[in-house]
Amino acid sequence: MKNYYEKVICVEPWRSLYIDDKKDVYFCCFQAKKDWSSFSKIKFSCLGNIKNKSIKEIWNNKKAEKIRKKIIKEGHENVCFNNCPFLYYHLHDKKLIAYKKLEHIHITTSLSCNLNCIMCNQNHFSKKELPKTFYAELVNNLQSLKEITQSGGEIFFEKTARDFFLNFNFEINPHMKFNFITNGTLLTKEIIKKIVLYGGYINISVDAATKKTYESIRKGANWNVLIRNLKLLFEYRKRYYKINPYLDVVLSFVVMKGNFKEMISFVKLCERFNFTPQFDWLTGNKPKGENLLKIKDLSDLNLLYNIILNLENRKNKNPIAHLKVLKNDIKPILKK
């Protein structure tokens, strides 16, 4: 695959950590994902594990320093995933990297989930949990922290992680922002209000624009519950906008054979609530016959390409996250 971000410096190793379900620590989730290994150049193992090392010890250890030096010298492309979507947001010049404090931490709290989505490879019966001392260290010892991202599994299905957010003392830490990756089905009025007041972003996995497709992909989910929660989120966001005008609400859509024809309707759904649509490729082989990039059915890819063009040319010019990545990945296949 072509690298669309040559000579771009990824800033994540200077500001962020990602903790996976095994409690291994990386600079970001793309260094941890094995799904990308076939077309990436990841040459480093994890930085450490929070079961036997503190976050502070891991943040500036020898391996972390080695990765940072390699990125400065050679760019991100010899360290990590070449077409990383995060670089869409981080088009930084080398000279702009002037900080090395841990500002953001992304925690995979647990793999437990209330749904059984057809493309998910996670073990939702995993019993692995964060060390009991983890949240105490997070609150008491990391004064530079500005953002905490929580994901799963389903973050609001996991009681400890949910309670950590709901009981967090924002009076002592008024500048802290929480981010969430969630399926949105377990949102309550209490959770939604707190997200609207103290959230940086919330990414809700939807993957469809109709009840039938949604419930066939996201097994165990209820379309009506999702729409109810999206309406509540929209109303609360509008009500408290002056207090927190920076909250970004993203609805995500994993593009596969069984749902890509709903992409235009999905964008219209997002526009109805003034939320940001985001499209990402299905990776891996689950479910069978759904990975458009592996099947390479030219009829489907031509139709998808035209859908993308229609979305680019629509009257509403609000951004659609990662749409350009999809378009650029299809082009070389259609040209052959």
- Determine if the pTM surpasses 0.75: yes
Burial 130-158 (b: 16+ CB within 10 A, else e): beeebbeebbeebeebbbbbbbbbbbbbb
Q: How far is CA 232 from CA 189, 190, 244, in A?
A: 7, 11, 16
CB hemisphere CA count around 154 (13 angstroms): 21
Quote the pLDDT of residue 335: 85
| 221 and 183 Cβ atoms separated by less than 8 Å | yes
Q: What H or E segment, with its residue span, contains residue 39?
A: none
Q: How many CB atoms lie within 10 A of CB 12?
A: 23
Listed residue (57, 51, 18, 52) closest to 131, CA to CA: 51
Name residue, tokens 């966001």: 237
Inter-CA distances, 189 with 14, 82, 186, 229, Å: 36, 40, 10, 9
Question: What pLDDT does residue 78 have?
Answer: 66
For residue 6, what are its two tokens?
Answer: 């040559």
* Ramachandran angles phi, psi of 267, nearest 5°: -60, -40
Residue 335 identity (one-letter amino acid): K
For residue 255, give Cα distances in angstroms to 22, 258, 260: 27, 8, 6
Q: How far is CA 176 from CA 9, 33, 82, 165, in A?
A: 26, 27, 31, 11
Under-50 pLDDT residues of the chain? 1-5, 34-43, 92-98
Angle, CA 229 vertex, CA 223 and CA 232 arms, to 5°: 145
- Cα separation, 44 vs 330, whole angstroms: 30
Contact 19, 55 (CB under 8 A): no
CA 306 to chain centre: 26
pLDDT of residue 145: 87
Cis peptide upstream of residue 287 (ω within 30 degrees of 0): yes
Kindly report the number of other CB atoms within 10 A of residue 306's CB atom.
Answer: 10
Query: Which residues contact residue 242 at a Cβ distance below 8 angstroms, ignoring those fewer than 6 apart?
Result: none
Tokens of 246: 């920076």
Helices (H), the chain: 29-32, 55-59, 62-74, 134-141, 159-166, 189-198, 211-217, 223-239, 263-273, 292-295, 298-312, 323-335
